[in-house]
Structure 1
């Protein structure tokens, strides 16, 4: 692979700070109340959800152009769940909910999401590692 860009981020745990090397992102991190935290900050799952949603929407744009579809008014909501796994650690699962324009049929929408799921780097990184559910809304 020929790397086009490398993001560099540093964090000192789930209850601390996270920042990128270029200073464009600097956030307070805190576990959500559901995981015993005070919730007074963002958490890794929220950051992953926003990143995945943005990336998947961009991948749909690439695929839609090939399919001659207009997705200029599309949005993706990523739901990232975390919970204990059978090995005593934790695991993630993702649901991607995509709102497509009315002009795109259900069949076209499914084909678009399936193809975008093959193009999106987040989908490629998670494939086979965590469940990812695609939902057209």
Structure 2
């Protein structure tokens, strides 16, 4: 078993509505509270970062599964949405919705369409981030599959 280490450094020089900095591998960004939560909205924030982690993990996992299954695709894109609830000063990340758009080449039939849908569902449940947040944040999948003419 291999144990991988990832290191993050954050600097927060001020109070609630100030701007900090975050560095983790290739990720270097400013961080602050988003404007939706009465913050300055500079750089990124925890809500976007969790959504980004879940989305990148999902799309990479799906692409790897498609490759292993030898399912040829012409295009794979993803839009994801995070739903965060704020009530009485308590902020809760409620749900992430992944909307993968898979384009298969001309000539793809029912077999390839079913496989693409199955792999999207498997990638969602297999993704490391989805497994890490399971039981705390609901993850929903809305897959669109197209076949080029």
- TM-score tier (shorter): 0.7 to 0.9
1:58–1:31 Cα change, 3 Å: same
Moved more, 36-45 or 3-12: 3-12
The 1-side partners of 2:48 and 2:74 are apart by 24
Instruction: Give the RMSD, CA atoms, in angstroms.
Output: 2.7
Aligned-partner Cα distance in 1 for 2:113–2:80 = 20
Question: Based on CA coordinates, which of the two structures has the bigger radius of gyration?
Answer: 2
- Quote the offset at 1:106 in angstroms: 4.8
Unaligned residue ranges in structure 2 (runs of 5+): 145-149
Q: How many residues align?
A: 135
The structure richer in strand per residue is: 2
User: Which residue in 2 is equivalent to 1:118?
Assistant: 125
* Superposition deviation, residue 28 in structure 1: 1.9
**TM-score scaled by length of structure 1:** 0.78
2:48 alignment partner in structure 1: 46
| Structure 1 spans left out of the alignment, 5+ residues | none
Alpha-carbon offset, residue 68 of structure 1: 2.1
| Shift in Å, 1:9 | 3.9
Name 1:89's counterpart in structure 2: 90
Kept after mapping to 2: 8 A contact 1:82/1:91: yes
Q: CA deviation at 1:45?
A: 1.5
- Report the TM-score when normalising by structure 2: 0.73
Please state how far the C-alpha of 1:44 moved relative to its aligned partner: 1.5
Looking at structure 1, the residues matched to 114 and 72 of structure 2 have their Cα atoms a distance apart, in angstroms, of 15
- The answer on 1:8 being equivalent to 2:3 is no
Go from structure 1 to structure 2 and tell me whether the alpha carbon gap of 1:43 and 1:89 turns closer, same or farther (over 3 Å shift).
same
